[in-house]
Structures are given as C-alpha cells and as structure tokens.
C-alpha cells in the first residue's frame, strides 16, 4: 500500500460543502482517504510518505473535454486564415501525410503539455486511436478516447471506419487501470450523413457506450443543416437518436432558446471551447444561458492547431472574461463558476462526478499543486479569484493521477520530455517538406 | 564600458525590415550596437561578456501603456461585481485607507510582476507619485508616470491636485538615467469639470509635456457626456484643447466612426485594455477599425484589481483572439499585429519608436529572453504565432532594460522579491481589517 500525507496545505476542494480547507490530505493508493483541518488520525499517519504543503495550493486536476491531441504537431502551422482556407489548404493536406509515428509523437507532445499544465483527464477524438491509447496508458493520464469518423466517403470506407470505431471502443474501454474510457463519435452532423450517424447510435446502444460529436460550431453549418435536413442540428441529432445515449457535444456556439431547452431535457453536456471559437471566428457560445437552463458546461481546448495551446487555465480565464464583456453583465460567469467548468462540471460531463473533479474522501486521487509564492498570487486573499484571473498552467508544480505522481517539480515522471520535443520537431519538418 | 555579446540566438526584432534574425546581438552600455546573422566584427567581440542564446528567443521588452500599479494590493479583493458596486463599496473605501507604505509596497509588487513577465516600460497613473517614481528608479524599469487627478472636489482641492501634478511632472521628468518620463493627466472627462481639464492642458503646454486620460470606457459615461456637455467624449476633449498636446487615451471602447477619424486626425494613441474591459463588462473596443483608420493602438493591463494580472502576454493573446470572435473575421488582428501592439506600437504611443519597441542597431537595450524549450513552443515553426497564442510571462527568463539585466533566471536582480511579497500580505491585511 502507498500512503501519502500532505501536511499544512491549502486545498481548493471544488466541493460546495467546504470549498477551501487549510489542513491535511491523505491519499492511499488511488483514493483520497482523508481531507480536513485536523491532523489525520494516527493509523493514517503510519507508514505515510510525508510532504509539506507549504507555499502550495492543491486542487482537483483539470478536465479537458474536447481535443485532438495528435494535431499538436500543427501548432502555429497556419493561423489567422478563414476557416475553409485553414482546413483545406493547411490542415487536411498535412493530416493526410500523417503516419503512425506522427500520431504517436503529436499525442505525446500534447500529453506532456497537458500534464505539465495541470490537466489530468482529457477527451480525445481522432484516428489511429490505438496509438493514442498506448500513449495514455504509458503517460499516466486519464483519457476518454474515441475514433471520430467523417462520413463523407464511400459506403465501404464508412463501414471500415465504423468497424474501426467499434473495435477500438470495445478493446480499450476500462483499460490502463480504468484510466481509459471509450466513446462513439460520428465527427459532426455536417460531415456525416444521417444514416451513418444512426449506425453509430446503434453501436453505442449495443456496446452501452456514451457518445460525443462536434455540433453547431459555425453559423454556416447550422444553415447547411437547415437547408439539407429541414431543421437545426439539435433537433436533427435528437431525431437520429443521438441524445438517447448519454452524450456531450463540443462547441455548441449557435443555439436557440429551444435548442438549449432540448439539450437540458436530454441531459446533454456541452464542451465550451472559447479560445478555438474566438480564433476561428466561430463566435461566442451562449454559456450564461446554458448554465441558467441547467445544462452542464465544461471546457475544452480543441486542438493546438486552433488554440494554439493546451493550457486549460487559459480556457478557464477566457470563460470568466468573455461572457462578461460580450453580455455587458460583470456578474456573468463568476470566477468560481469558471473554475467549476474546468473541474467538477468536466467530471459531471463525463459521468464521473463521484470519482474525479473534487477533492474529498473516497474520490480518485487526481490532483495538482500550484506554486503560489509568486507575485501574481499576492496578496494571498482569494485563491479562487487568483487561480482564475491570474493562474496559468506554468504555475503547476506537481500532478498526481490515480494516486501516482506524474509530474514532479514541473517534470513528467513517466515520459521522456526531451526526446519527445526532439521527435516533434523532426516529425514537423518531415510533414512540412514531404 | 559594458559589452554583452549574445551568441546564436533567435531574435524577433519587431522590425519589418527583417522580422526574425538567427544570429548574434551585441549591446554596449545602454544601446544595441550590432544585430545580424554573421559574427560581430572583431572589435565588438573584444572584452565582451559572452552569453549563449541557445534555447532562447529574444524580443523587445513589452510596453504596458495603462495601469495603476499600487492597486495590485487589491488584486482579487472584489470580483464579478457591477462596476459601481465594485468601485463604491470595495475599491474607493480601500484606496481611501492607503498610506505611503501601501503605495510603495503595492507599486513594488506590480513592478516585480511586470518585470518577471517581460514588461520593460509601463505607464502609471495614480497619486503619491513621488513614491512610485522612487520604486521605478530603484527597480530599473522604465516608467511614464503621471498624477491622475479627479476633479470632483472643492476648488481648493482641485488647485492642490493640479499643483501636485505639476510639481511631480517637473521634478521627475528625465530622471533615473532618462528612464522616467512624465505626463499630465486629468483622470477622465466624467470625473473632471471642463475648466479643470483646461488647466491641465495649459500646464502641459507650459511644461511641454504630453497628456493621458481615461476615455469612453463605458457606454454610461459616454451618455453622461452627451447629457452634460452636448457632445461625445472625443469631441469634448478636442474642444478643451486636450488633443492639441501629444496625447493618448486609455480604453476608448465606445467610439463612433467620426470619433475614430478625429482621433486619427489629431494623432491620438489608444491604449487597449482587453482583459479589464471584459472583466468589468465595459465591452469590446473597435480595435480593427482603429487600426484600419491609422490610429496607433497599444496594450495596457489596467490595474491588478480589474484584470487581475499584469502579464502583458495575456493582453496580447486576448487582442489576437477576441476581435476575431466578435467580428466573425478570423483574419482580424493577426498574431504579428497583436505582438506589435505590445511592443513597437507601445513605443509609438509613447513617442519613443526610435528608442524602444524594436531590436535594431542604435536602439536602447530593452529586451527579454524567453525559454522556448517547452512543449507549448513545439514544433518550433513560427515563433511569432507561438509567442502570441501560446506564450506567457512565465516563459520569460531574462530581462534587460537600458542595457542592465534586471531579471536573471526569473529573479529580479534589483528588488528583494521575498520581502515585497511578505510586505504586500501585511499591507493587505492591515487595509482589510483597518
């Protein structure tokens, strides 16, 4: 048995019952067994590795509910272009050249960046997912993985993609000590014919798996949906049975009040990706209205090609800032709400609220420690405000997932960072010159 | 004579003639004397302290054109409140309790944060400015300082404030090896009667000094201006002679096309403060239109009480992101433009474009070095994109101002950081309990 006793720390629990605890936490193997102001009882102190929490703030690991890790090789390859130019002239040709090693290295690069900046759980939708799963297994991170399938192809290719998605989902669900979970994901309503989406819904039913997709990212795709199918994307997906499965959608920028009500009624989560939505000029999602309606809203970075970083603290700050500025209401999305979107609401989106996203007894030991002896955290008055409006992934010093320390003093313990950075550079050069 | 030779670095010059140089830079005393791909000539190599530029990206120091440094003691003291509640119930009562030591410690805390995150020049508008100037003198930073005067008081108080502003501006202009420059600043059209503003304009004429003020931050103050004076703030200030002086204004969120044209005609700079404008729900300034009209737009953090950090990289990224999202045009404010707003356009705003804001021969040696051996800078393809969309003040490792190294390996060389953090905590406690 491994037992870790953190002494005299500040714990932001993200649990409304007691949001800030000045005191002690004990972790046994993969679970939190004590968190409180008093010393842990004698039996919990025994044989414990002791660690001083002084100068550190501890909080749940961040949960990134939408992304495409392997695309980190394309960070900064093309910016500030119209969406179709960016996709057709830059992204798709480069992605078309990807070989297995690009996926492995690109995913590893993304996982390093996420771990070091405090993300302990991420959602990944891409192809060659066996490789992604292997990186997740090795790195110690927690991943919800899914083969995202574009259906604009022949029936034979569609069949192959579906089979690949099913096999991946079957083979990897629950693997890596339960750190890997799988989903079924048609890419988006505008890239998948209705019958193709229905086949994914059927497979999700058969395998008893939840679903994830892109939805209503741009005004243009909503218009196209109305033109092609006579209704907006929420109603369209609902008719196809998508929301009969536990599910969450990425982006959801362009929604009517009726669509928000339907998402709430079907208990569909929304992954808000503010940086990507701003950078690609998709617009500003109606997050205050979604939250008010009772929809669970979490945060995603999207890929490093459209962000261009994977630091979820950036998304937390953007979520707290932009909705105030755009709505004209300074009380919109308070700091605590934004921090919940990056933690406990992420856990709720992934149906893991009883396991991750908060620090309390019985929860999985997924947590991070930030160095708060820095000027941007002074005066040390309100750490929730400071984390949201001044914090950054660079402030993260230690990271634990499932009770295992995966970042120590800012360095990944299970991955060879130097080698991965070197390989990422080589892969990019080969792709750019290939 | 001090000579520094930086070997084999990547230099983002911010000079359109040659934006990126892989090579060498030589600094003699306070000036850049060589920058190029070839080795410096023999005479410049002699007696030079040599430094490896490997793994570092060098760029001009950032220029923060609007703030109130001493307010950093109020970071996170009150967030997510309506502007009037925030000001009247939280900020003003706390500021009313300030004593000299609070100004000294609060300003020092802000200067530490700015230096460590790569800001080498800042504009500061506050009171007790002699203390602010002393901190600037000691810390090595470059500061444009001004006693911001609110005129909603008796004529006797108005007279005292004007006299204080004049004495400060006279005494400190050009001090600290020329690092300190002074301005004249009535606080804002809505807090200063027209006659009070005119007295500042007259003083600026007499002293041959430029001017700075807050303008059109909120829709409400613009409406009030129209109600009280029969015109909008740009025309109002123009009539009062404000723009007959070299000048720049902070915020300028709510502008008509005619106002933009008038600002351009009068050669008035605009300090864009995106985080503060979003957080206080003031709105989104029309920056693409201002730039298109030929107005010089730079960046400011505003105070840490309304931001809540002083990392100008955050403002650079916000400037590059929000105008795309709000306008629907992904080509709006490209990365390079945003980086210029934080550097060379800041220098132009302060009439120092021939001294700071770019790296080239003859310029003052105000520059920073960032550690780019980090995953969020890989692949190392386009550093301008990476600095804007992935960079952070935490990536800054070394800072030089006027040729003197003021941050070395992330630590301020001229200020006692630990003592200042400790004192900031003590000051805040006394203010909150006082």
CB A137 within 8 A of CB A96: no
Residue B135: other Cβ atoms inside 10 A:
25
For the annotated binding site of B for substrate, the residues are 95, 147, 187, 217, 302
The whole-angstrom distance between B211's CA and the closest CA on chain A is: 28
Give the span between the Cα atoms of B20 and B14, in whole angstroms.
8
A275 touches chain B (CB under 8 A): yes
Beta pairing partners, B134: none
Torsion of CA A245, A248, A250, A256, to 10 degrees: 90
Q: If DSSP codes are grouped into helix, strand and coil, which group holds residue A120?
A: strand
- Give the per-residue pLDDT at A287: 98
B385 touches chain A (CB under 8 A): yes
- Give the per-residue pLDDT at A82: 81
Locus of tokens 């910016």: A79
B282 touches chain A (CB under 8 A): yes
Give the span between the Cα atoms of A185 and A337, in whole angstroms.
28
Residue A191: other Cβ atoms inside 10 A:
17
A172 touches chain B (CB under 8 A): no
Give the span between the Cα atoms of A284 and B328, in whole angstroms.
10
Closest A-chain CA to B338: A80
A316-375 residues touching B, CB cutoff 8 A: 317-318, 320-322, 324-332, 334-335, 373, 375
Residue B85 pLDDT grade (very low, low, confident, very high; cuts 50, 70, 90):
confident
Give the span between the Cα atoms of A317 and B318, in whole angstroms.
11
What is the phi/psi pair of residue A423, to 5°? -65, -35
Residue A96: other Cβ atoms inside 10 A:
8
Choose the closest CB to B328 out of A281, A310, A311. A281
A155 touches chain B (CB under 8 A): no
Average pLDDT, chain B: 97
Cis upstream peptide for B172 (omega within 30°): no
Q: For every one of its 434 residues, what pLDDT tens digit does chain A have, with 9 covering 90 and above?
A: 899 999 999 999 999 999 999 999 999 999 999 999 999 999 999 999 999 999 999 999 999 999 999 999 999 999 998 877 888 899 999 999 999 999 999 999 999 999 999 999 999 999 999 999 999 999 999 999 999 999 999 999 999 999 999 999 999 999 999 999 999 999 999 999 999 999 999 999 999 999 999 999 999 999 999 999 999 999 999 999 999 999 999 999 999 999 999 999 999 999 999 999 999 999 999 999 999 999 999 999 999 999 999 999 999 999 999 999 999 999 999 999 999 999 999 999 999 999 999 999 999 999 999 999 999 999 999 999 999 999 999 999 999 999 999 999 999 999 999 999 999 999 999 999 98
Choose the closest CB to B309 out of A76, A335, A390. A390
A389 touches chain B (CB under 8 A): yes
- Give the per-residue pLDDT at B210: 98
What is the phi/psi pair of residue B396, to 5°? -75, 130
Q: What is the ipTM of this complex?
A: 0.97
CB A8 within 8 A of CB A23: yes
Long-range contacts of A160-167 (CB under 8 A, 24+ apart): A162/A196, A162/A199, A162/A200, A162/A203, A164/A127, A165/A200, A165/A203, A166/A203, A166/A207
The whole-angstrom distance between B333's CA and the closest CA on chain A is: 8
- Give the per-residue pLDDT at B65: 98
- The DSSP secondary-structure symbol of B39 reads P
Q: Which of A20, A80, A222 to mutate to test the interface with B (most CBs of B within 10 A)?
A: A80
- Domains (ranges, CATH) in chain A? 3-61+361-412 (2.30.40.10), 63-349 (3.20.20.140)
For the annotated binding site of B for Zn(2+), the residues are 66, 68, 214, 302
Q: Tell me if A380 and B86 make a contact (CB, 8 A cut-off).
A: no
* Rg, C-alpha atoms of chain B: 21
CB B161 within 8 A of CB B103: no
pLDDT higher than 80, residue B83: no
- Give the per-residue pLDDT at B82: 81
- B-chain CB neighbours of A308 within 8 Å are 385-386, 389-390
A112 touches chain B (CB under 8 A): yes
Closest B-chain CA to A396: B394
* pLDDT tens, position by position, B275-324: 999 999 999 999 999 999 999 999 999 999 999 999 999 999 999 999 99
- Give the per-residue pLDDT at A229: 98
Longest dimension (CA), chain A: 68
* pLDDT tens, position by position, B365-385: 999 999 999 999 999 999 999
Give the span between the Cα atoms of A113 and B307, in whole angstroms.
25
Which residues lie closer than 8 Å to B7 by C-beta, 6 or more apart? B24, B50, B51, B52, B53
Distances (CA, A) of B375 to A22, A299, A431, B119: 33, 21, 18, 23
Distances (CA, A) of B251 to B190, B219, B278, B313: 14, 12, 11, 18
């Amino acid at each position: 048995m491994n037992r870790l006793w953190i002494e005299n720390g500040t714990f932001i629990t993200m649990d409304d019952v007691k949001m800030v605890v000045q005191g002690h936490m004990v972790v046994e193997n993969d679970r939190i067994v004590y968190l409180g102001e008093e010393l842990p009882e004698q039996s919990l102190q025994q044989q414990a590795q002791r660690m001083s929490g002084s100068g550190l703030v501890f909080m749940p690991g961040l949960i990134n509910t939408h992304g495409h890790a392997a695309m980190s090789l394309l960070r900064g390859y093309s910016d500030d272009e119209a969406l179709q130019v960016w996709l057709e002239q830059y992204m798709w040709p480069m992605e078309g050249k990807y070989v297995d090693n690009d996926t492995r290295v690109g995913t590893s690069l993304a996982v390093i960046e996420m771990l070091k900046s405090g993300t302990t759980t991420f959602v990944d939708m891409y192809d060659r997912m066996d490789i992604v799963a292997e990186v997740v297994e090795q790195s110690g991170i927690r991943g919800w993985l899914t083969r995202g399938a574009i259906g604009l192809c022949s029936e034979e290719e569609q069949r192959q993609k579906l089979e690949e998605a099913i096999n991946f989902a079957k083979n990897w669900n629950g693997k890596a000590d339960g750190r890997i979970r799988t989903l079924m994901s048609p890419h988006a309503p505008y890239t998948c014919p209705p019958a193709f989406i229905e086949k994914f819904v059927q497979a999700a039913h058969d395998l008893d798996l939840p679903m994830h997709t892109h939805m209503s990212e741009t005004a243009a795709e909503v218009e196209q949906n109305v033109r092609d199918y006579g209704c907006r994307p929420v109603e369209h997906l609902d008719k196809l049975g998508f929301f009969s499965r536990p599910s969450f959608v990425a982006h959801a920028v362009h929604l009517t009040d009726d669509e928000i009500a339907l998402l709430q009624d079907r208990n569909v989560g929304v992954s808000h990706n503010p940086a990507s939505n701003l950078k690609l000029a998709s617009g500003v999602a109606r997050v205050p209205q979604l939250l008010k309606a009772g929809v669970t809203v979490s945060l995603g970075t999207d890929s490093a090609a459209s962000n261009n970083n994977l630091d979820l603290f950036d998304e937390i700050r953007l979520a707290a800032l932009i909705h105030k500025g755009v709505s004209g209401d300074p009380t919109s999305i308070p700091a605590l709400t934004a921090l919940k979107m990056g933690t406990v609401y992420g856990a709720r989106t992934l149906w893991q609220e009883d396991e991750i996203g908060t620090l309390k007894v019985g929860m999985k030991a997924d947590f991070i420690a930030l160095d708060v002896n820095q000027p941007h955290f002074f005066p040390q008055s309100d750490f929730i405000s400071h984390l949201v409006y001044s914090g950054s992934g660079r402030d993260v010093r230690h990271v634990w997932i499932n009770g295992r320390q995966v970042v120590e003093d800012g360095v990944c313990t299970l991955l060879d960072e130097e080698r991965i950075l070197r390989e990422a550079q080589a892969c990019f050069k080969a792709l750019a010159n290939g």
